[in-house]
Structure formats: structure tokens, C-alpha cells
A = this chain, B = another copy of it.
Amino acid sequence: MRKRVSLKDIAHELGVSTAVVSYVLNDKYEGRVSEAKAQQIRETAKELNYTPNQIAKSLKKDKTFTIGLIIADISNLFYSNIARYIEDESKKHQYNMIFGSADENAEKFNELVQVMLSRQVDGIILAAPKGTESTLEYLKDQYIPFVLIDRHFPSIPDINTIGINNFQASYRVVEHIAKNGFRKPAMVTLSVDLFHMRERTAGFKNASKELLNILKPEVVEIDEEVLSGEIEDRMLKLIKDGVDLVYFSTNKIAMEGLAVLVKHNISVPREIGIICFDEADAYKIFHTSITFVKQPLQQIGQESVELLISLINGNQSAKSIVLGTQIIAGNSSAPH
């Protein structure tokens, strides 16, 4: 069977101590080991196909060079994209990443946190689902370095957060809508009680009132579980009611909503205008180029890793980083 080669094997082979081998293989032998012996050790290591055992190293140093990432929902493109950036950035800093999706489920989230902790991750980046405040408090109490992305829990003070201004992003969407001559927009969103989603809705409502003089802005909330079943009727109703543009609050809703339009042969922007939150590669096979709110995914990934690592290295400050968004204008919301 398989027998992994250890420091001891190399030491034994050469009749030296494991310490010497460790020094050489970690390039810490300046003034300790003769160059000749060092060379020998390196050669033997190569010959024997030595691979250092990180598990042992981690145990000894109480540091795994691993960060945990827990996202809320892997089936959302936004998160899978961000996961990529976080992985890339981690690698740049010589960290590994281990990863899990909580599927918007608080219990699953808590389990994942436990798994990550027992695997001794040095820190965690997380997009927490609803109802996980106590776990966040726990992490904070335990001084476990963590950074919250995308989501924000105003009830917990002094935690490290990185995200966008969702209210403002939505507000600007309505500015764009108004500028391009739409007068009766509706927002289609999920009925979920998360701060960042409420902010998106609030931005839309406020701006609709202020910029379009709409007394009761139209917001359709759909339960995530029944999304693909319900959205068809809801969309058709909006159109029948004379809504002239639909603003989808996430990627996932957008895909479902656009599918309805395709199915019913509804032309964009002629019959209805469209704006989506978040981008998707798939938009390019829709019959019209899509206007969308672009979040700085790469920057979120990058900064969250950097912030986390600085926390791991003992930096104490609680930071809330708010990044900017852009509206990428396509033909789907062209002047009306």
C-alpha cells in the first residue's frame, strides 16, 4: 500500500536529524547547515518524492493558511462568480479556500461554520442567510476573524462588512428609467427579509415617488420556492396593467422573468422595458441587449480577502467598505 514519505525518512536515509532536514527544506538553514549537506538533502527529498504534510505543519503552527467561504446560495450566479474571485485572490496570498453553500438556510449555515472551525480555518468570508445573527455574534465573541459580504446585519455593530449601497443602486436605476421616458415601472423581487434586499426595494420605492410622482410604486414579491411557477402569471398581469418596464432585483429572478417574455413572444423594449440587477453571461443570447446594474464583483472578492487576511494578521479595526455600482445600459431600457 501507499506509504507517504516524511521528513523522518529523508533524515534516516542520510543519517541526519529531522530538524536539519526541516531547516533545509524550508530554506532556513543560513549558518546552520553546510551547503553540501543541504544539497544532498534537497536531492534525496526530490528522489523520494517528498511532499510536506501540511496537516502536521498546521497542527504545529496553529495556522492552516486556509480561509473558509460560506455563500448563501450557489445556484445564484452572483455568488458563484464571487467565489471564483475569492479563490483567485486567496491563491495570490498563498491561502487555500474551502467552500460551502448554505442554500439560504440558517441551520445549514451554522453547520458549515462548525465544519470550517473544526477544520481550523484561519478566517471566514460569509454571505449569511436570514436568522444567523446569533452565529455572527458567536464568531465575534470568539475573536474569529470574519468578513461579511453582500449582506449586512445592522443589528450587529462593529463587524467587518463589504458590499454596495443597495438603496442608491436602485435609486439610480429609477433615475435611468425616468430619463429614458418610462413612466410606469414595476419591480419584481423575492419576498425575503434581508437587509440588502429591503434596501433595493426601498430605493426603488423612494425614487419612484420622488422622480416619477408615483404614489404607490408597484413591487411584486415572489416567494423563492415558487418562483418559476408564479412568475409567469405575475409578469403577464403587470403587462396587462400597462407597466412599461420591469426591474428584476436579482439575477435569478431576471432569468425566470426573461424566460416568460420569450415564451410569450413579448418584445423588449417595444412592449416592455427591462433592467436587471447583476450581470449574466447568458444575457447575450436574449433578443435584446440587457441593461443591468453591475456590482464590482472582482473588487468585492479582492477586498474581502485582503481585509480578512489583515484581520488574521492581528489587525483589529472594524471596517465597513461600501463599493460603487454601475448601470450598464443596453437596449432593453432604451429611450421610450
Contacts and interface: CB of A to CB of B under 8 A. Distances in A.
Contact of A142 (B2, B283, B284, B286): B2
Interface-central residue, A74, A98, A285, A287, by most chain B CB under 10 Å: A285
A315 interface: no
A120 B53 contact: yes
Interface string A246-286: 00000000010011001000000000000000001111111
A1 interface: yes
A191 interface: no
B119 A2 contact: no
A144 interface: yes
Contact of A282 (B80, B119, B120, B282): B282
Nearest to A261: B285
A135 interface: no
B282 A262 contact: no
Interface stretch (A34-42, A55-63, A195-203): A55-63
Interface in A134-162: 142-144
Contact of A287 (B115, B118, B262, B283): B262
A118 B1 contact: no
Interface size class of A (residues with CB under 8 A): 35 or more
A255 B285 contact: yes
B54 A119 contact: yes
A115 to B, nearest CB: 7
Contacts of A258: 285
A51 interface: yes
Contacts of A84: 74
A325 interface: no
A327 interface: no
Contacts of A144: 2
A1 B87 CA distance: 27
Nearest to A62: B4
B59 A56 contact: yes
Given A144-B2, A285-B286, A54 B255 contact: no
A310 interface: no
A271 to B, nearest CB: 15
B118 A96 contact: no
15 contacts: A2-B143, A2-B144, A51-B114, A53-B120, A54-B118, A74-B84, A98-B98, A255-B281, A255-B285, A258-B285, A259-B285, A262-B285, A262-B286, A285-B286, A286-B286
